[in-house]
Amino acid sequence: MVDDLNDLENKSWNLNLINSSFLPLEAEIIGGIPLSNWFLEDKQIWGATSNGLFTVRSAYQIAMDLNRKELASSTSNDSGMRLFWRKLWKINVPHQISYFAWRVANDILPTKANLVHRHVLLDDTCEECGLMSESMVHFFWESNWSEEDLALAIAIVWAMWTNRNEVRHGGLRKSGDQLLFRCKQYLDDYWAVLEAPVKMQQQLESKWIPPDEPSYKINVDGAVFASKK
């Protein structure tokens, strides 16, 4: 409970408990949140009314608003979104890359903009350009691709994000040529594994076809011995 993080005697945060329970960055952010000097007892309030008290009318209004939003989104977006998700999961890439693409499509990657929105970070400035917010739109791009190009594009984005995380944890930043070579080699190996069983099946199913007339095929079985007995 949040209550446990408070030092009631000194009317401050229990920094020892916070530092032992959270990551250093999170502990610093929590410790920087100002506390009330009164330490009033927590209580539940209803946010849909000005006085914080629940009313049936306010609950009905919320239900109607949610219903209107659901109908509007379902009629305009459902068919397009279903087509999008089907296309996404059919892309011929390893599962971890498909899952990464799903996270990108749902905007749930821990970009700095998302972390600021979740009150984990205070600054969302992109570390690459130093100017813009590190949002999904800023970090990635949108284009029309063929199936092969789309697979390579998603793999490159996955490699960029993976290398970004490696750098943040002390790893080396890879060049664009290195990332591109890694992705192409990874996909080629993956596609080769997928195609191998198909090629073997085709070889097993091959049949001998006799030549057309007037050609003939004759099988001859003979042997030569060094001496006769």
Cα distances (Å, whole numbers) of residue 84 to 77, 78, 90, 102, 211: 10, 10, 10, 11, 51
Q: What pLDDT band is residue 200 in, cutting at 50, 70 and 90?
A: very low
Q: What is the mean pLDDT of residues 77-93?
A: 73
- pLDDT above 90: percentage of residues in the chain: 0
pLDDT one-digit tens code per residue, 134-169: 887 777 654 555 778 878 888 888 899 889 888 888
> Between 133 and 35, whose confidence is greater?
133
Is it the case that residue 174 has pLDDT exceeding 60? yes
* Mean pLDDT, all residues of the chain: 77
Q: What is the mean pLDDT of residues 52-72?
A: 78
> Between 142 and 12, whose confidence is greater?
12
Q: What are phi and psi of 36, to 5 degrees?
A: -70, 140
Task: Evaluate whether 151 touches 93 at the Cβ level (below 8 Å).
Answer: yes
Is it the case that residue 64 has pLDDT exceeding 50? yes
